[in-house]
Amino acid sequence: MKKIIGFLLLIGVIVWGCSDDDEKRVGDYELPSDFFYQTVWKGNLRYMTNVGWDEEYVGIEFVSDSLCFVQYEDDVKSALYFVEGKVFHLSRDEVYLYDPYGYWFLTYCNEVSDSLIFEQRAYNNEPITMTLTKVSLDGKN
């Protein structure tokens, strides 16, 4: 009987410990609505193509609480954006960004909030990720 109780306690500790790791990755962190205001972020988009995974550079300069400039595929366009909790909405009329839905879900945020990973699902249900790293307002690391 002691072995069974010990085994059950061990399993409980393992399961409890694993669930904490998952929660730390995504966390309960929600982006404040003014999180991006007057900041510059650089990173990449990673997505599946017919021949495998591909990556493209993306840079975003947030100039106000609703307007940003997005550099993607050697082109810079203005776009509207807003933040709701863990969801980053980017207007898809002006900027495509392999973005079939217009919104990205926060899946990772480091403790000092200078590295973010967003994800969404493409029409083929493959994940598309956007990894952004905060840089100074003049665009330098």
- Over the chain, what is the mean pLDDT? 77
Query: Is 83 part of a structural domain of the chain?
Result: yes
What's the rounded Cα separation, in Å, for the pair 116 and 109? Answer: 5
Q: Which amino acid is at 107?
A: T
User: Helix, strand, coil: what percent of the chain each, to 5?
Assistant: 20, 45, 35
Q: What is the pLDDT of residues 17-75, one digit of tens each?
A: 444 443 334 456 788 888 999 999 999 989 888 888 889 899 999 999 999 998 987 88
Q: Does residue 71 share a domain with residue 2?
A: no
Nearest CA among 47, 40, 35 for reference residue 84? 35
Q: Does residue 113 share a domain with residue 45?
A: yes
Query: Is 141 part of a structural domain of the chain?
Result: no
Q: What is the pLDDT of residues 37-53, one digit of tens each?
A: 999 999 998 988 888 88
What's the rounded Cα separation, in Å, for the pair 50 and 37? Answer: 37
- Count of structural domains, the chain: 2
Output the pTM of the full model: 0.71
pLDDT for the residue 94: 56
Q: Does residue 56 share a domain with residue 2?
A: no
Spacing of C-alpha 22 from chain mean position = 16
pLDDT for the residue 137: 58
CA distances from residue 74 to 44, 59, 87, 107 in whole angstroms, order as listed: 13, 10, 26, 27
Q: What is the pLDDT of residues 121-133, one digit of tens each?
A: 776 777 889 999 9
